[in-house]
Amino acid sequence: MTSSTAEINLELQPETRVAVIDVSKRVFAQHGDLLAPFCKLLYCSFHTTAGYLEQSLCARINHSRESVEALVQSTQRLFPAGAPYRHDQMHLRSELSEAQKLVEPQNADSHLKFISLGLENCVTYDNRPGLPVFFIDLDGVYRGTHRLRQTTIVGFNEAEEVVDLHLNVPMSNHAIDSINLKDPRLGIIEQLNELLAQYEIRKGKIVLSLEPGEQHAGLTVNEYETLLMKHDLAEVLHNPLRFMAEKGFNLLRDPMAIRSKAKNYVKYDLVQFVNEVIDALGLNESLVERVIDRIAAASASRRLRMKRSVTLLVNNPDDESPGSAVLGTYQSPILVQWHKAEDQARRLNVRLVRFE
């Protein structure tokens, strides 16, 4: 801890698989007014199925737990548990030992919900004491075991941009592709950690953003598991109703018939999904028929709330050590595209920010 920042580490244990936990209430109960002097708070989750919503969206729904829960619940229809996700077919998971396959959670639906909801591993909030800040866990209980979750909150008053640079990320020639930006063969994280040490940034954040000209692409922080990213996510980008229909009716065998079959056979669930989102966001306009058409033919950026930028916490173990990018065990920043990139590369803007 330094005089210009404060850091709190919380351990959370959700009571249900899907849990909405008020972190600000926990902070006050355990640490009192420690964060009160700071105008900005960065909240960081180290899990790929648990994170935070942007403060602007929470303000739009009046920081209501009920609205957050309704918004989360609405994704259950798009990504139901038990649908035929490749990620959950353990016999295909060659990276796992036989013993690991027995205990590995079948949670592809939670990963896809995380991306669909636009949950983030790191968010920065204006410090508004008394208002809730929700940690949203989509996979908090598995086979009766309640998981332990970790979240870090850093209070600061000023954020100084120290480095601004541009990176080219090579992409394949496939229209739909995902790239693990933590892959050591790219060397991106290693390069950023070297710059953090060079500029003596001990606490702060790294912001990775797509350049304005980069279209048909998005960023997320999640688990880069091949079956999840190369198959399940790719199938959703091809067809946003894929798992809704497969779980409920097992009908979508002809991809060319997706729109008509979605209307004829998935209409009830889709209407419920749309209405739940409308209710959760406090909207009044009746959008059902129009949204059914749009979802069936929407761009990938509408199917999943893919972000144009992601944030990584920069932290250090003590006041003297250089800071480095902090990621959970299974977290990776991931670049996703749903159309071919020009010259088989995407351009990223990278900002290194020091907290003061």
CA 224 to chain centre: 12
pLDDT of residue 159: 97
**Strand 309-315 relative to strand 204-210, pairing:** antiparallel
The number of folded domains in the chain is: 1
Task: Return all residues near 265 (Cβ < 8 A) that are at least 6 apart.
Answer: 245, 249, 251
335 part of a folded domain: yes
Residue with tokens 């299974």: 330
CA-to-CA distance for 79 and 319, rounded, in angstroms?
A: 44
CA 3 to chain centre: 31
75 part of a folded domain: yes
**Across the chain, what does the average pLDDT equal?**
86
280 part of a folded domain: no
Nearest to 121 by CA among 150, 87, 159, 95: 150
What phi, psi does 346 have (nearest 5°)? -120, 145
CA-to-CA distance for 327 and 27, rounded, in angstroms?
A: 22
Burial class of residue 222 in the structure, from the number of CB atoms within 10 Å of its CB (0-12 exposed, 13-18 middle, 19+ buried): buried
307 part of a folded domain: yes
pLDDT of residue 110: 97
255 part of a folded domain: no
**DSSP E strand boundaries for 62-133:** 122-126
Please give the single-letter amino acid code of residue 158.
E
CA-to-CA distance for 244 and 250, rounded, in angstroms?
A: 9
Helix runs in 212-314, H state only: 226, 233-238, 242-248, 258-265, 267-280, 288-297, 300-303
For the chain, residues with pLDDT lower than 50 are 1-2, 249-271, 284-300
Reduced to 3 states (helix: H, G, I; strand: E, B; else coil), residue 298 is coil
204 part of a folded domain: yes
pLDDT in tens, 213-229: 999 999 999 999 999 99
Query: Residue 334: enclosing H or E segment and its boundaries?
Result: strand 332-337
261 part of a folded domain: no
DSSP 8-state secondary structure symbol assigned to residue 257 = G
Compute the radius of gyration of the chain from its Cα atoms: 21
CA-to-CA distance for 231 and 216, rounded, in angstroms?
A: 18
pLDDT in tens, 252-281: 344 444 444 444 434 444 445 555 555 565
Please give the single-letter amino acid code of residue 69.
E
Q: What CATH code is carried by the domain that includes residue 72?
A: 2.60.120.460
Could you tell me the residue range of the domain that residue 92 belongs to?
A: 5-240+298-355
CA-to-CA distance for 110 and 189, rounded, in angstroms?
A: 26
125 part of a folded domain: yes
